[in-house]
Structure 1
Amino acid sequence: MPTAQPTSPIRTGIIGFGLSGRVFHAPFIATNPAFRLDLISTGSPDRAAQARQQHPDTEIVASPSELLARAADLDLVILASPAHVHREQALAAFEAGAHVVIDKPFVPTVTDAKQLIAASEDAGKLLAVFQNRRWDGDFLTIKRLLAEGVLGGIHRFESTFERWGGAVRERWQDSTTSDQGAGITYDLGSHLIDQALQLFGPATVDAAELTTVRPGAVSDDDSFISLLHETGVRSHLTMSRVAGQSGPRFRVLGSESSYSVNGLDNQEPFLKDQRWPGSEGYGVTPSADWGLVGVGDSLSSVETARGAYPDFYAGVAASILAGAPSPVDPRDALEVVRIIERAHQLSAAVSA
C-alpha cells in the first residue's frame, strides 16, 4: 500500500513531452489543484518551447537523467517515455522516493512488470499505469448498459481501434521492435485488452494475427486478437495503424439486444487543441455520435456517458494523499502484458 504524503500540491515531474506527455498528462496535472508541475524533461528544442509556452512556471530540463537526479525533490514522476525505458526509469524514481505513473505500454515483458510491482511495494510507493481509456465515454456507456442488464447475457464483444498512420517515420514507435514494447498490439492493443478484461474478466488468447504491413516497419502495425474469457464471452479486438477506414468502435452482442457505436471518444482532440478539462463541452459527445441499442431495425439512440480522463489523476491524488487504492492496479497492467506476449507467441508460431 502506497504511503501517504502529508500535504499537497503534489510535486510532479514528467519525462517526455511528445504526444503522451503534452496531451495526455500535463493538462491534467496543470488543471488539478492537488498537483504542481515542477519539471518536464525533453531533448527536443521544439517540444521544450511548447512546454515553456504551455507551462510557463515549470522548469524544463534536457534529459530524463537530469529529472531523475532531482526526483528526491519530487513526490511523483510520470513516465511519458518509450516502453523499453520504463523499467529503468521507474526503478530510479522509486529509489529516489517518488511515486510513479507509467503510460501504456506498461513494459515489454511480464518479468519487467513483476519487478516494478515488487519495487513499488518495497518502496511503499504508488505505481499506476495510465489506462486512460477506462474513462472513455463510450466505454463508460457499455459499463452502464451491462450494469442495467439491457443487453442480456453477452456472448461477443467487438472492439476496434484503427488509424491511418502513413509511412514509417523517425519516431520510437516506428524504430523499435516488439521485443522493446513497440508495435500496434502494445500501443493500441494495451487499451483494447484492458477494456475487455475490465468488462468480462480473465481471459486467454484464442487466436492472434499480428502483421507488419508498411515497408520499413520493424514491428506489427495491423493486429487481431480473439480472447476467450472465463465467463464464456469472446472478445474480438482489432487494431491498426494502416486503416484508411475504421469499423465500429464497439459492438456488444447480447441475448436480448445489442449496442454499437462509431468513432472515438472526443477527449483526445479536445486535449490536442488545448481545450483542457474545464473547457466548455469537454468530455461531452454530440447526440449525432451517440450509439444505438436494439435488434434489427428496431434501434434507439443511447446517450454517451461523459468522458472523464481527469478521474485518473483524481485517483492518483487520492492514493498519494490519502492512501486510496491505485486508480489502475499495476497487476491489471501485468495481465495485459501477459496477453500481448502470448499473442506474439501464437502469431509467430502460425507464421513459422
Structure 2
Amino acid sequence: MKNQVTVALASFGMSGKVFHGPLLKVNHNFRVKLVLERSKTLSKELFPDATIVKTYDDILTDNEVELVVVNTPDKYHYTMVKQALEAEKHVVVEKPATLRSAELQELIELAKAKGLAFTVFQNRRWDGDFRTVQKVIEEARFGRLIEFESHYDRYRTEITPGTWKEEGDEYGGVLYNLGSHMVDQAYVLFGKPQTVTAHLKTVRKGGEVADYYDIRLDYDGFSALLKCSYLVMDPGPRYIINGEYGTFKKWGIDGQEDLLKAGNLPENDDWGKEDVDWWGTLVYTENDEHVEELVETIPGDYRIFYDKLYEAIRNDKALPVDPAEALEVLKILEACLLSNKERRTVIL
C-alpha cells in the first residue's frame, strides 16, 4: 500500500502479541518490517513477512524503519526511546513512558527538536466504558459533580516468580502499571488535581511490590477516587459517579483485551460492542420526577490510536496521546509515591 509507515516492534511479549501486533496487523497504513525476538519466533504467526532481529541496533540502523514501538519493561523505556529518537525514528512507548518525569521531559524536548512524533500508548482512553463515562459526565444529567470513583480490581492470589511486574523498587507493582491507566483517565476527564493523597500496600502473602492502592485526587468542588486491589473476589461497580441530583454506575470492564488475548483480530464492525447486560445505570431527578435509565455503552475501539498516529505522522495532525499529558500523569504518580511515603497530602 502506498505511503505506509514502516514499523519495528522492540519486543513481542504480552504487549506486542496482544495489543500492538493485532492493531498494526489490521491497519493497512502500517507495515511491520522488523520484530525484536531474541529467543523465539512468536511474531511469525501475525507477521510472516517481517524479519526477526536479535538486537535493538538492528532496528535503529535500518533506514527503512520510520516508527519504533518501545513495548519493553518500564525500566528500559527512557534509554530505548532516546536511542530511537536520536536515530530519527518516530516512537510509540508503552505506559508509563518513563519512570521519572525529568526523563520524560527530556524525551519530549528531544522529539520536538527533531520534529518527530512521540506518543504514549494509553489504549484505555478508548475503552468502551470510559468513552461512555466521558459522555455521561459531559451531559451531566446528575447535576453538579460531587465524586468520581473508579476501580480496577482483580483476584490474583498467586505471585508469578521472575516476572518484572512482581519485583523491583517503588516503581514496580500496580501504581505504575494499572495506575498509569487510571490516573490518565482522571486527567483526561478533569485535568490536573489540586492535591493528591495515596495509600499503597502489599496485600498478597509473599508479595514484593504494591498490589493495592487508594488514590484521592481533589479538585475544586469534587474528588476523584481511584482504587485497585489484587484481592477482590467479587468486584463492585467499575465506575460510580455521584452528582447533586443523581448517580451513574457501570459494572464490568471493556472486553477488547480478552478478545485480543483469545486471538481475535479487531477487524469487524461489531468490534468493541458490549452486551446490554453490562450497560450502565443512571438514576437522577428531573422536574421533581425520579428517572432511571440504562446507558448504552459506546463501543470500545483501540484501533483509533493507530488511526490517529498515522494522521499525525503523515498529515501533521494531533497525536493520539500528547506526551505533555503523559508528563502530567507521571507527576501525579510521583506525587502518589511521595504521599504514601510521607503519609500526607501532596499539593500540586
- Both proteins in one fold, TM over 0.5: yes
Structure with greater helix share of residues: 1
What residue in structure 1 maps to residue 275 of structure 2?
286
The amino acid across from 1:11 in the alignment is T
Whole-angstrom CA distance in 2 between matches of 1:29 and 1:310: 9
Q: Secondary structure at the match of 2:20?
A: helix
Q: Which of the residues 23, 48, 51 maps onto 1:56?
A: 48
Q: Which amino acid aligns with 1:261?
A: K
In the alignment, what sits opposite 2:304?
Answer: 311
Secondary structure of 2:196's counterpart equals strand
CA distance in 2, matches of 1:253, 1:79: 38
**Following TM superposition, by how much is the alpha carbon of 1:244 offset from its aligned partner in structure 2, in angstroms?**
2.5
Are residue 91 (structure 1) and residue 82 (structure 2) matched? Answer: yes
1:336 Cα deviation after fit: 1.0
User: 2:199 is matched with which residue?
Assistant: 209
Output the CA distance in 1 between the equivalents of 2:326 and 2:308. 16
The Cα shift of 1:275 comes to: 1.6
Determine helix, strand or coil for the equivalent of 1:220.
coil
Contact 1:42 1:64 in 2 (8 A): no
Contact 1:276 1:282 in 2 (8 A): no
- Aligned partner letter, 1:177: D
TM superposition shift of 1:73? 2.5
Aligned partner of 1:39: which letter?
Answer: L
Offset of residue 157 of structure 1: 0.4
Contact 2:196-2:332 at 8 Å conserved across structures: no
Shift of 1:66: 3.3
> 1:350 Cα deviation (Å)?
2.5
User: Which residue matches 1:255?
Assistant: 244
Q: Over residues 60-98 of structure 1, what are the superposed CA-to-partner deviations in whole Å (9 max), with x where a residue is unaligned?
A: 22343433343x321100111111111110111111111
- 2:21–2:46 CA contact under 8 A, matched in 1: no
Q: CA deviation at 1:298?
A: 5.2
Counterpart code for 1:93: A
| Corresponding position of 1:112 | 103
Deviation string 1:230-273 (CA, Å, 9 cap, x unpaired) is x4320000022333232211111112221111111011111112
Q: CA deviation at 1:58?
A: 1.5
| Residue identity in the other structure for 1:158 | E
User: Residue deviations 1:303-346, cap 9 Å, x none?
Assistant: 00011111111110000000111110001111111111111111
Trace 1:36-185 onto structure 2 (pairs within 5 A).
Answer: 36-45=31-40, 48=41, 50-70=42-62, 72-169=63-160, 170-178=162-170, 181-185=171-175
Tell me if structure 1 keeps the 8 A contact 2:167–2:173: no
Deviation at 1:274, TM superposition (A): 2.0
Partner-residue secondary structure (3-state), 2:152: strand
Divergent runs of 4+, >4 A: 295-298
Describe the shift of the 1:175–1:69 C-alpha distance in structure 2 as closer, same or farther (beyond 3 A): farther
| Cα distance change, pair 88–344 in 1 and its aligned pair in 2 (3 A) | same
Q: Which amino acid aligns with 1:34?
A: N
Q: How far apart are residue 300 of structure 1 and its match?
A: 1.7
List alignment gaps of at least 5 residues for structure 2: none
In structure 2, the CA distance between the partners of 1:174 and 1:65, relative to structure 1 (3 Å rule), is farther
Change (3 A) 1:67 1:248: same
Partner of 2:16: 21
Q: Which TM-score applies when normalising by structure 1? A: 0.91
Secondary structure at the counterpart of residue 343 of structure 2: helix
Amino acid at match of 1:274: G
SS in 1 for 2:213: strand
2:262 is matched with which residue? 273
